[in-house]
């Protein structure tokens, strides 16, 4: 937010052309008059209610601030501001909302008294511009004080004292780079190059089909092809259908980024070549390695993409893929029913592992540049654990390829549920939330709210506080530090109760939106809720992660499960060109979106809105 500049003061500075950081002239004046440390007096008055409370401005903790003119305590229609120059407290209301004694004070003092601080929020305000203003030094001081609040009355080995709250000296203005999207159309040279060195995907297959077949083919979008059930493999087919239509994954394979012919040659050279000597030397181990190197899930994916997008509509049998996956996950190799989510994790892992072997370079999973699976699916979760005694917070970052969500506890009130969710039941906040949400049905947003809600860890799972040097009760909060390109939400419908040694399936309905904004669950939002509106870089890294554009997601696939825990059936609903299709193994039918909304979702696949091309899907088909 930028501040309005009075017309008589027209020397507005621009820092690196960033309008958002352009200071109000009054704030700039104030800073230049008090060069050394303009907010020194304020820092001693920062009060934070530990642990993790909001910052407020009070001279002493029990003080009740009142407006110097009217004696208002800021409870009703006004806000209270303390002038940062002379410390006078005044109330302020927007024009039409009553008198503003703060603005009157700024005017009567003839300059220098425009900047004030909100006593309850510790945020700066310019009474002349009548707008919020932001100052890096002030904001970072508040955040530091908030994080160090507890340290002040902590054991003596902590070195932080009120006077040593240091301000980061350089105004590290990071320029945000953004590249505009420009649609690409081939120029004549590129067009001829494409024509001469590639063969069109639709060969003669559709022509050889019967007429009625080819006509219906043309109506359907590309890539819709049933997958044969190879013996209880609907768990695999359902996930594969979702993956085959994951926009970034589809683009990767269809643009020949992983060519199975090239890949096989390479692994043959590396693996056995024709070197008899190697084979003789390490016979058994080399055989194993041969098998491994020949097994490449990404190659099988590539083959599958070619087959599925070949315009042949006859159901395809992913037998080779299944065989490769069995080699990768030997413990799951059987014709029994498996969990679709387990398969999803296992096959992403398989693609990742293969790439790692090829490059022989350790890659951290979190930054997502290691392999296509993680580039598309991996995000980073942030978990803050705060000690309830001293307020010390330890933060950890964990890579994830999906987010597993608990269904909200049953409002209908089955006693069984309450017992299985014992660690949540101890959380008072969750309980009061439930009472307020009695009426509603569970929603995906509700699950995400619960996921990012501060959760009190019970007495049985105390966490070792580095500052107290003992195990303490703590408050844990999850948030999403980096969003993946494709978010996969897994709903924990299969419940395992350790006390009863029993598993069961939760059949409750969960509402999920077709468009989802993930912004409230990002670390930046969670931290903003904790610290207030500041321009201090909380995460210590670039703000791109909280880019508003990329927090909007569109649903494109839902994997549903019907039946019981040990026997059931998986079906995938796909959204292509804004039309829904039901993929039930070999059969694909067009369905109404209400059927999808009513389905019992087990895994939901959302893609970043900028990657979800509604219109371009049609172009490809044409």
Question: Which are the catalytic amino acids?
Answer: 234, 569
**Helices 260-271, 297-308: crossing angle, 10 deg rounding:** 160
295 binds other proteins (CB under 8 A): no
CB nearer to other proteins: pick between 94 and 203: 94
Minimum distance from CB of 259 to other proteins (Å)? Answer: 46
As a whole number of angstroms, the distance between CA 575 and CA 16 comes to: 43
Binding flag, residue 42, other proteins (CB under 8 A): yes
In terms of DSSP bridges, do strands 474-482 and 455-457 run parallel, antiparallel, or are they unpaired?
antiparallel
DSSP track, 63-102: -----TTT---SSSS-EEEEETTT--EEEE--TTSS--HH
Site for other proteins in 93-152 (CB under 8 A): 94-97, 117, 119, 125, 129-132
Residue 551 Cβ vs other proteins, minimum distance, rounded to whole Å = 14
- Compose the 20-39 pattern: x for residues touching other proteins by CB under 8 A, - for all others: --------------x-----
8 A C-beta contact, residue 549 and residue 192: no
Each residue 388-427 as x (binds other proteins by CB under 8 A) or -, in order, gives: ----------------------------------------
Q: How far is the CB of 617 from other proteins (least distance, A)?
A: 29
Please tell me the distance from the alpha carbon of residue 6 to that of residue 9, in angstroms, as a whole number.
6
Task: For residue 267, state whether it binds other proteins (rule: CB under 8 A).
Answer: no
* Residue partners of 501: CB distance under 8 A and separation at least 6: none
Q: Is 547 in the site for other proteins (CB under 8 A)?
A: no
* Least CB distance to other proteins at residue 87 (A): 4
Is residue 4 a contact point for other proteins (CB under 8 A)?
Answer: yes
The answer to whether the Cα torsion of 552, 553, 554, 560 is positive or negative is: negative
Rule CB under 8 A: choose which of 14, 16, 18, 49 binds other proteins. 49
Judged by CB, which is closer to other proteins: 73, or 410?
A: 73
- Please tell me the distance from the alpha carbon of residue 167 to that of residue 10, in angstroms, as a whole number: 29
Closer residue to other proteins (CB): 117 or 297: 117
- Residue 142 Cβ, how far from other proteins at the closest point, in Å? 14
Nearer to other proteins, 133 or 239 (CB): 133
- Residue 554 CA to residue 611 CA, distance in Å, equals 9
In the complex, what is the shortest distance from the CB of residue 161 to other proteins, in angstroms, rounded to a whole number?
19
Q: Which is nearer to other proteins, 68 or 247 (CB)?
A: 68
Six token digits for residue 35:
């060069």
Options 25, 26, 45, 220; binder of other proteins; rule CB under 8 A = 45
**Does residue 433 interact with other proteins by CB under 8 A?**
yes
What is the C-alpha separation between 579 and 593, in angstroms, rounded? 8
Interface mask (CB under 8 A) for other proteins, residues 57-96, using x and -? xxx--xxxxx-x--x-x-x------xxxxxxxx----xxx
Q: How many CA atoms lie within 13 A of 4 on its CB side?
A: 7
CA-closest candidate to residue 238, choices 621, 593, 587:
587
| H or E segment to which residue 504 belongs | strand 502-505
What angle (nearest 5°) sits at the alpha carbon of residue 513, between those of residues 588 and 417?
100
Binder of other proteins out of 206, 411, 426, 437 (CB under 8 A): 437
Task: Tell me: does residue 41 bind other proteins (CB under 8 A).
Answer: yes
* Dihedral angle over CA of 172, 174, 175, 176, nearest 10: -160
- Which of residues 150 and 420 has its CB atom nearest to other proteins in the complex? 150
C-beta of 129: minimal distance to other proteins in Å? Answer: 6
- Counting contacts by CB under 8 A, is residue 12 touching other proteins? no
Instruction: Using alpha carbons, select from 255, 234, 232, 240 the residue that is nearest to residue 350.
Output: 240
Q: Is 370 helix (H, G, I), strand (E, B) or coil?
A: coil
Residues that bind other proteins (CB under 8 A): 1-4, 19, 34, 40-42, 45, 49, 57-59, 62-66, 68, 71, 73, 75, 82-89, 94-97, 117, 119, 125, 129-132, 433, 436-437
């Amino acid at each position: 937010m930028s501040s309005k500049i009075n017309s008589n003061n027209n020397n507005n500075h621009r820092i690196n052309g960033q309008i958002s950081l352009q200071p109000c002239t009054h704030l700039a004046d104030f800073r230049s008059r008090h060069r050394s440390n303009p907010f020194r007096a304020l820092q001693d008055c920062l009060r934070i209610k530990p642990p993790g409370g909001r910052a407020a401005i009070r001279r002493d903790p029990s003080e009740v601030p009142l407006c110097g003119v009217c004696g208002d305590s800021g409870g009703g229609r006004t806000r209270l501001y303390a002038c940062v120059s002379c410390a006078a407290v005044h109330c302020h209301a927007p024009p039409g909302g009553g008198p503003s004694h703060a603005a009157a004070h700024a005017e009567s003092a003839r300059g220098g008294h425009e900047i004030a601080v909100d006593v309850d929020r510790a945020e700066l305000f310019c009474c002349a511009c009548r707008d919020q203003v932001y100052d890096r030094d002030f904001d970072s001081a508040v955040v530091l004080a908030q994080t160090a609040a507890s340290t002040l009355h902590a054991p003596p080995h902590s070195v932080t004292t009120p006077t040593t709250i240091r301000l980061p000296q350089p105004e590290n203005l990071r320029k945000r780079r953004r590249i505009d999207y420009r649609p690409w159309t081939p120029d004549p040279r590129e067009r001829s190059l494409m024509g001469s060195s590639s063969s069109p995907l639709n060969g003669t297959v559709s022509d050889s089909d019967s007429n009625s077949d080819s006509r219906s083919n043309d109506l359907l979008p590309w890539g819709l092809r049933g997958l044969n059930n190879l013996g209880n493999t609907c768990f695999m087919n359902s996930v594969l259908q979702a993956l085959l239509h994951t926009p970034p994954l589809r683009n990767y394979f269809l643009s020949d980024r992983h060519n199975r012919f090239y890949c096989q040659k390479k692994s043959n050279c590396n693996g056995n070549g024709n070197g008899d000597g190697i084979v003789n030397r390490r016979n058994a181990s080399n055989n194993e390695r041969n098998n491994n190197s020949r097994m490449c899930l990404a190659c099988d994916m590539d083959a599958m993409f070619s087959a599925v997008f070949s315009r042949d509509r006859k159901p395809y049998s992913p037998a080779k893929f299944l065989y490769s996956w069995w080699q990768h996950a030997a413990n799951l190799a059987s014709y029994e029913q498996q969990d679709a989510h387990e398969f999803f994790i296992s096959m992403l892992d398989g693609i990742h592992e293969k790439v790692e072997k090829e490059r022989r370079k350790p890659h951290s999973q979190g930054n997502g540049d290691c392999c296509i699976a993680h580039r598309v699916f991996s995000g980073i979760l942030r978990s803050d654990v705060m000690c309830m005694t001293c307020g010390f917070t330890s933060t950890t970052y964990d890579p994830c390829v999906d987010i597993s969500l608990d269904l909200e506890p049953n409002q209908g009130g089955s006693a069984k549920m309450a017992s299985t969710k014992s660690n949540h039941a101890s959380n008072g906040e969750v309980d009061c939330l439930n009472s307020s949400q009695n009426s509603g049905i569970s929603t995906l947003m509700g699950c995400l709210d619960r996921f990012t809600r501060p959760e009190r860890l019970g007495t049985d799972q105390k966490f070792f506080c580095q500052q107290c040097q003992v195990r303490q009760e703590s408050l844990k909060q999850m948030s999403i530090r980096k969003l993946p390109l494709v978010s996969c939400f897994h709903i924990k419908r299969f419940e395992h109760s350790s006390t009863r040694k029993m598993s069961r399936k939760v059949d409750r309905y969960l509402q999920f939106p077709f468009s989802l904004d993930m912004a409230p669950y990002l670390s930046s939002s969670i931290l903003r809720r904790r610290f207030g509106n500041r321009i201090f870089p909380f995460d210590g890294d670039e703000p791109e992660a909280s880019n508003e554009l990329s927090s909007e997601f569109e649903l494109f696939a839902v994997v549903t499960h019907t039946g019981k825990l040990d026997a059931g059936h998986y079906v995938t609903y796909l959204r292509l060109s804004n039309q829904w299709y039901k993929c039930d193994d070999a059969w694909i039918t067009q369905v109404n979106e209400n059927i999808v909304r009513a389905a019992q979702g087990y895994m939901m696949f959302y893609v970043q809105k900028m990657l979800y091309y509604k219109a371009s899907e049609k172009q490809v088909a044409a």
